Amino acid sequence: MATSAVSATTTRSSLDNPEFNALVEQAKSLVAAFSSTPLSIANAETNFEQKISAFNEIEPATAFTPRQAPHHVASEVEAQLSFLRKLKFGYLEQYAKDKYIKTIVDDDAEIITVDDNERLRRGNEVKKANLKLAKERLADRNRVFSELSSDVEDKYKLTRSLTDEFNQLTSQILDARHALVRLRASHPPNARISVASANATLEAQTEQMTTLDAQLSANASRAEKIKERMQETAREVERLRVERAAKEQEARQTKAEEDDERVGGLYDWFTASLALHRMLFSLVSHKAVTENEIQLTYSVSAEAPSRPQAPSNLTITLLFQPNTRCLADASISSPDPSLAGLNLADLIGSHVQSNDVLGLVRGILARARNALQSRPP
């Protein structure tokens, strides 16, 4: 109670702090300014889509390829550049031919000397050097622009994430304030628990625990009686199993065409025996996986009455030799780790040698109950 009061006081002081409220208002104004400022990076996607739409609206009759994809545009530009290079080369070739013919035919044509060619060569080298420098400056500028654009994009994403986080924290602060107001309204100071009411509640709970202990003792004695009944019923089931084997041997000796009036009685006896076995051994379900394999699922609980625990499911898989009643192997599985890790190799081996299915089931269930009883709470 004291811890709850201290935490409530701390929450109240942190939520009602004027400095904290001023910081929240300052952050709100910063988020509002960020949202209202027209950033170019925020509108870049919209502007790009508008340019793409305007580019696609151009008359396609003059285009070489469709304009919907960037690689189509790149191939078209490459084709146009190749055409312009050929056109430039053709122009220079024709210009040189024309000038050469005029120089030969015309009497007053100027004489082109080696110095003129050298001067033109030096001028071309200067222009090439200037062009190379311009290309390098353009490449550097593109590189700087790429680095700055990635930096700006990262900062924009960080700012956007911080804005979303602030909005989420603001919503959580408002929810905490509303929850605090509701707690103050639903738990006024005059309705809080007192020492006298706490002592009364403690006495009532003590009486309830005493009653539950008495019920637990009664349940333990009843469980002992049920265990004795189970042992008697197991002996009865064993006797009935022997009788059933004799009856089945007798039934196999009769002809298949004859009607056996005892089939109905044997069926009723088997159904009643199965229901009794399910009730006494806590059989949850049974499933015939194959002709010589059956799975039995039991609900197992600890035998200790002083420490009741929830029952756990234990599945026993019995494997018989084909076309016989001889037990070949057995295994267990359970979602409870304390049951799944049981070492039952000696128990299974001894009962497989003696072909005692019922004894094997009883032994496995007994060890499972002991394991649940010894498990720490």
Q: What is the largest CA-CA distance in the chain?
A: 142
- How much of the chain, in percent, has pLDDT values that exceed 70? 78
Maximum mean pLDDT: which of 121-130, 298-307, 364-373: 121-130
* Mean pLDDT rounded to a whole number for the chain: 79
Phi and psi at 143, nearest 5°, equal: -65, -45
Residue ranges of the domains in the chain? 19-57+131-186, 226-254+262-280, 282-377
Residue 16 — very low, low, confident or very high, per pLDDT cuts 50/70/90? low
CA quadruple 267, 272, 278, 281: dihedral sign:
negative
pLDDT at 55: 65
The DSSP string of 142-182 is HHHHHHHHHHHHHHHHHHHHHHHHHHHHHHHHHHHHHHHHH
* Cβ atoms within 10 Å of 274's Cβ, excluding its own: 13
**Residue 206's pLDDT band (cuts 50, 70, 90):** very high
The pTM (predicted TM-score) of the whole model is 0.30
DSSP sequence for 94-144:
HHHHHHHHHHHH-TTPPPP-HHHHHHHHHHHHHHHHHHHHHHHHHHHHHHH
Rounded distance, CA 36 to CA 25, Å?
16
pLDDT in tens, 153-164: 888 888 888 888
110's CB contacts (< 8 A; 6+ apart) are 103
Please name the residue that has the structure tokens 């030799």.
321
Instruction: Quote the CA–CA distance of 162 and 217 in Å, as a whole number.
Output: 62
Residue 23 has pLDDT above 90, yes or no: no
pLDDT band at 255 (very low <50, low <70, confident <90, very high): low
Give the number of other Cβ atoms within 10 Å of residue 357's Cβ: 19
Query: 321 near 328, Cβ under 8 Å?
Result: yes
Residue 244 near residue 271, CB atoms below 8 Å: no
**Sign, Cα dihedral of 214, 215, 221, 223:** negative
Position 129 scores a pLDDT of 94
Q: Classify 286 as helix, strand or coil.
A: strand
pLDDT of residue 361: 86
Inter-CA distances, 118 with 124, 158, 257, Å: 10, 59, 125
pLDDT in tens, 4-15: 443 444 444 455
The pLDDT of residue 53 = 73
